[in-house]
Structure 1
């Protein structure tokens, strides 16, 4: 009888070996190997929090939300006092589970995840989360990955837009994005929770979050208007008027085009990015033509010096 060992009997490798290969794959940006070693890690260390958490991070980076939810759910179940001490009490797996559940529209699981993370007010009911979580800037089409092997959304050019945050992981665009971004006013975005730079809001610095995915695409058209003879106070009245009707307006003539380094930090630091000079205000508008025409006409009646030089549909 031959002493050859049947190849079907494969000896499991030590967790330390698999962990080393996993880290090497991350450093080498080798996603195929990373996926293989993540699965192997779950086999050789199935009762370890970090096995499921790291595997869940990879699923998150690749946008595989069902797998991310399953892996982070298991990581949350394995979260012990030892890990709690390391992470300051809150499980990062709970946060990533909340993101994955939001992407899937699994609001019951999302509520459970936010509560497990230590956030109050999400434990009632199982319906969609649509809370007022304040204003937040979100970087659409982010130009830098924040996780190894991350798939970045690529609808167009990178831009930081202001949003109405409706939960810890999703927000609605309140700005009028530039058409080159491929986004519109009232797009619904899934966003990450790790700060990637800051912006000023009402005199205080707030964190910028990166878009992970567009959950709902808006069909509200984007327009560009050039207006002369107006003051900033006039533009504020126009913004208030349009806002009450659910329409959008942004002063594009004041947009500061920043380099990537400044965008990911604080725009107040480093070199300046001056807006181009212009004799007219350039406005980005969001709405249907009939609504915009009516409200702009009403606004102009009491402002004889204001002239709308052009109103152009962009997309």
Structure 2
């Protein structure tokens, strides 16, 4: 990964020698992003934004990557005014129409929590546990809310808010379409919602979908952990369907569910769900963390 301290010194010297260079400010901003120094990254990319010339636009096919990185840094800092300016500078004008925090339905996206491969030189990867790709509700170009129930080993919870990068790192399928995976850069908010594991016997797919709908109506989470595949890093960063076979955690004896929420609310929903389902049984409901 190299000497980040030396890189920091060299970046400062470069800016002193070439203060009018878009490229210098952009590269220095990339280093600040890699080191997760968000105020510095915001300032450097904002300066690069001012220096962006038609010649620079030709090199980047009209897009301004400094604007995107400025959007990431300002989202990390909760500076929504500058985030809106950054997305508009990148050409995403839909975010410029309002004020305050950005909270827009940008669709579903798979996010790799605790990424295991760096994208930039000297990058400090965010990690509080094992790598896991989860589905998220994307609320802006740079942040999302976890919609899956992550495994406890990930150190994340249902409805955590995460900052993510914009560079695709592999794909997953959603409704028959390939969608890009993005790497987590930082956790912005811990939801604090407890994670549970349930073992269910006698339930059909329709029963599980019904339970998921009931829980969703209460803001609670459900993920079917029975079919989780433990993929190698190479396939995780590519298209899993094109890779080799991976270990499945599927159990033939019972369905294994990950649930998220407080005990009283979960119990109330599960009791109501079971009342109409003879032959379905909850074998165990264990608090994991």
TM over 0.5: yes
Q: Which runs of 5+ in 1 are unaligned?
A: 1-27
Find the residue that maps to 1:88 and give its secondary structure: coil
- Map of 2:99 onto structure 1: 126
**Partner residue of 1:282?**
256
Which residue number corresponds to residue 144 of structure 2? 171
- 1:69 matched to 2:42? The reply is yes
Q: CA RMSD in A?
A: 0.8
Whether the 8 Å contact between 2:228 and 2:250 is mirrored in structure 1 is no
Q: Tell me if the contact between 1:108 and 1:125 (Cα under 8 Å) persists in the aligned partners.
A: no
* Structure 2 match to 1:9: none
Provide Cα deviations, 1:86-125, integer angstroms capped at 9, x if missing partner. Answer: 1111100000000000001000000000000001311123
Residue 196 of structure 2 corresponds to residue 223 of structure 1: yes
Residue 160 of structure 1 aligns with which residue? 133
Say whether 1:244 aligns with 2:212.
Answer: no
Question: What TM-score does the superposition give when structure 1 sets the normalisation length?
Answer: 0.90
2:176 is the alignment partner of 1:203: yes
Aligned counterpart, 1:312: 286
Check conservation: 1:47, 1:78, Cα contact below 8 A: yes
Secondary structure of residue in 1 paired with 2:42: helix
Q: 2:18: which partner in 1?
A: 45
Structure 2: distance between partners of 1:217 and 1:280: 31
Contact 1:196 1:209 in 2 (8 A): yes
Choose which of 75, 95, 106 in structure 1 pairs with 2:79: 106
Out of 302, 308, 314, the position equivalent to 2:276 is 302
Displacement of 1:272: 1.2
Please give the per-residue CA displacement for 1:41-65, whole angstroms capped at 9, x wherever unaligned. 1011110101000000000000000
- 1:293 paired with 2:267, answer yes
Structure 1 stretches of 4+ with a deviation exceeding 6 A read none
TM-score, normalisation: structure 2: 0.98
Distance 2:275 2:227 in 1: 25
Structure 1 residues 53-64: aligned runs within 5 Å: 53-64=26-37
Tell me the secondary structure at the aligned position of residue 164 of structure 1: strand
Distance 2:14 2:23 in 1: 9
Q: Give the count of matched residue pairs.
A: 288
Secondary structure class of the residue paired with 1:268: helix
- State the secondary structure of the residue aligned to 2:249: coil
Q: Give per-residue Cα distances to partners, 1:254-289, cap 9 Å, x unaligned.
A: 101100000000101120114134121000000111
2:63 aligned partner: 90
SS in 2 for 1:121: helix
Structure of higher RCO (CA pairs closer than 8 Å, 6+ residues apart): 2
1:228-275, CA deviations, whole angstroms, 9 ceiling, x for partnerless residues? 000111100000110011000000011011000000001011201141
Find the partner of 2:121 among 130, 144, 148. 148
2:5 counterpart residue number:
32
1:294 is displaced (CA, Å) by 0.8
